[in-house]
Every structure is written in structure tokens, then in C-alpha cells.
Amino acid sequence: DLRIGTAVAGGGHHETQPYPDPFTFDQEYRARLAAEFNSVSPENQLKWEFVHPEQGTYRFAEMDAIVQFAQANKQVVRGHTLFWHSQNPEWLEEGDFTKEELRAILKDHIQTVVGRYAGKIQQWDVANEIFNDNGTLRTTDNIWIRELGPEIIADAFRWAHEADPKAALFFNDYGVESVNAKSNAYLELIPRLQAEGVPVDGFAIQGHLSTRYGFPGDLQANLQRFDDLGLETAITEIDVRMDVAAGTEPTDAQLATQASYYQRALEACVSVEECNSFTIWGFTDKYSWVPVFFSGEGEATVMEDDFTRKPAYYALQDTL
Ligand code: XIL
């Protein structure tokens, strides 16, 4: 039942995230996207600033094209994301709204976006990155929590569920690969919400790994404790970056380390019963966000710029 997915590149802020989306003009990219995966996630195309650039004005063409592509290629789609502190449009972050207005804006957005793709999106990252690393809620940089209080989190899930009762609704975060303060915070929050009848189905771990920091050896145990609560789990954005000086190639040893991280992450997911989705955050270095966001690091995906398969690709294939 395990789905293997990738982010569909596009809609970002830099030259490696071209607009229009690569699958509309890069035939090699398009062919690989269709052939190698049975799940896809929009890398940016459903984020507020992209899909809701002006108040009340939605821009759905790019996401519609991804959904169409997925259906033509018998792929499921993961929706990302509805409630986040980042990549929000200026009209929202800088707007002068009352609490009632903000609440109505969020409700309208969730129902419009989820409703448009009802039956076509299998899993939603409803809430993204709501906790700080120390396990406290993001009460300053998350506009919704700051302005409307933590109870708004439950409302976001309720509104998403109303708009598509069949979609599985997730929390998603980075830095929660291991048992730590942040993952503990989710382990405490999710059952509490469920006990109140809030429709939460799963907990998703992004999985942005770096060979600088080592592999999170307790990933499987961490996934398992969410599984033990009866939750679905998923790896939603894995990439494994490494130190590379500009213009140089990674060594065989670096590529082998990277391959082992990907493999161990997939093995962890495979070993946990309801870990049902494993998504890499882009499949070719050609369009990866990593070098732009992490200075001195790169080469984080499973294929080179020219789509040559790296050891990591074969390590994942061997695991399946
Ligand atoms: C990243 C995209 O890959 C970039 O193109 C964009 O410019 C910034 O966001 N956590 C998330 C993703 O949930 O949405 C982020 O994606 C990576 C970190």
C-alpha cells in the first residue's frame, strides 16, 4: 500500500524553481515524473502566496495541471499546505483584519481549496510546522495562532474535513524525525484533539536530512509511537544534502552515505504498519531547493541534473 512520491517542482522564488512548472516544458522531467512515482505533491503551487495571491483571488491553473497529470498517470496527490507561518501573501500578513475577518478568510480559503480538489487529493498537510523546536507553539510567527489562539488549529482540521470527508488530514513538520521536544509535542497534541472529536488522521515527518548531522537512528521508533496511537504516518519531504564546494562533484563515499540515509528512512517507513506514503522533495538536483537555502550544501536528491540515477536511487529501489 506504500505510495512513493515526489514534490513537483515549480512556483518557488529562485532560478532552480522555474515558472512555468518544469513538467510543462522539460520532457525528460515529465517522463521521469510519470514513470517513477505513484504519488505527487505540489512543491509550492498550493501555498497561500501562490494559490491565493490577492484577497479573494485564487490561482488554480498550476495545481489543476498537476492534478490532471496525476490522474492521467494513476498517481495520488498530497495537498500541501493550508495553515503555515511561511509563504503567505503580503495582503494577508500585512493586512489590517479583525479576528472575525481573519477567521472567515481562513475558513473560506480551506473550504475553497480543499473543496476544489475533493476526491482528488488523498492526503492533506493541513497544518505545517506549528511547533518551535522546543515544543512550544509558534505563537509569534504563525499569524493564525498569534491572532486567533491555538483553538484555530482544530477549526482548520474541521473545515478541511467538511470540504473533503475522504481526505486523510495530517500535521507535518521538520525536525521531528527523532524522539525530541517537538515530536513529543505532536504526540501529546494529536490524541488530545482526537478526543475532542477533531478529524486528525496522521502525523507526517518532512525528513530534510543532512550528512552533517547524521541519520536520526530512532526514526522508526518515533514513527512507531504514532502508529501505536492508531495514526497514519508519512515521510513527506525527504532529501539528504551534503557538503559540496561550488563546481565540485560529491565523492563516492558521500554518495554512499546519502544512499544509506535514504534507504534507512524508507526501511523505517516500510517497517511501520500505517506509514503509507514516502515522498522525496524533488527527484533531480536540477530543480532542488537545497543549494539555494543551505549554503555550501547540495546534491540532495536521487538523480543528478541530467537525470542520471545516483546510488540513493538504487538503494531505494532495492528496499522496495
Ligand atoms: C520549499 C520549496 O522547496 C522551495 O521551492 C520554496 O522556495 C520554499 O519552500 N518545508 C516545507 C516545504 O514544508 O514547503 C518547503 O518547501 C521546504 C521546507
**10-residue stretch averages of pLDDT, the chain, 320 residues long:** 96 81 97 98 97 97 98 98 98 98 98 98 99 98 98 99 98 98 99 98 98 98 98 99 92 98 98 98 97 95 98 98
Question: Residue 196 Cα, ligand 1 centroid: separation in angstroms?
Answer: 31
Return the closest-CA partner of residue 50 out of 25, 73, 30, 21: 21
pLDDT (0 to 100) of residue 139: 98
Residue 148 grid coordinates? 486567533
Unique residue bearing C-alpha cell 470527508: 165
- To 10 degrees, the CA torsion angle through 266, 268, 70, 64? -120
Residue nearest to atom 7 of ligand 1 (CA): 12
Question: Residue 299 Cα, ligand 1 centroid: separation in angstroms?
Answer: 16
Q: Which protein residues touch ligand 1 with a CB less than 6 Å away?
A: 12-13, 17, 43-44, 128, 174, 206, 237, 289
Residues 209/261, Cβ–Cβ less than 8 Å: yes
Question: Residue 284 Cα, ligand 1 centroid: separation in angstroms?
Answer: 15
Residue nearest to atom 3 of ligand 1 (CA): 289
Spell out where the chain has E strands: 3-8, 39-42, 76-83, 123-128, 168-173, 202-205, 208-210, 232-243, 275-280, 297-298
Residues 6/282, Cβ–Cβ less than 8 Å: yes
Fill in the DSSP letter of residue 217: T
Choice among 62, 177, 232, 237 that is catalytic: 237
Whether 237 sits among the annotated catalytic residues: the reply is: yes
Choice among 43, 49, 62, 129 that is catalytic: 129
CATH code (residue 126): 3.20.20.80
* Predicted TM-score (pTM) of this structure: 0.98
Q: What is the ipTM of this complex?
A: 0.99
The pick from 123, 279, 281, 283 for probing ligand 1's pocket by mutation, whose C-beta has the most ligand atoms within 8 angstroms, reads: 281
Return the closest-CA partner of residue 39 out of 86, 84, 85, 7: 7
pLDDT (0 to 100) of residue 211: 98
Question: Residue 195 Cα, ligand 1 centroid: separation in angstroms?
Answer: 32
pLDDT (0 to 100) of residue 18: 81
H or E element in which residue 151 lies: helix 151-163
Question: Residue 86 Cα, ligand 1 centroid: separation in angstroms?
Answer: 9
In total, how many domains does the chain have?
1
Question: Residue 235 Cα, ligand 1 centroid: separation in angstroms?
Answer: 15
Unique residue bearing C-alpha cell 504563525: 142
Parent domain of 141: 3-319
The pick from 82, 208, 289 for probing ligand 1's pocket by mutation, whose C-beta has the most ligand atoms within 8 angstroms, reads: 289
For residue 13, the ligand 1 atom closest to its alpha carbon is 7
Calculate helix-pair angle for 99-116, 151-163, nearest 10 degrees: 30
The pick from 88, 293, 294 for probing ligand 1's pocket by mutation, whose C-beta has the most ligand atoms within 8 angstroms, reads: 293
pLDDT (0 to 100) of residue 245: 87
Burial class (CB in 10 A: 0-12, 13-18, 19+), 83: buried
Backbone angles phi, psi at 15, to 5 degrees: -65, -25
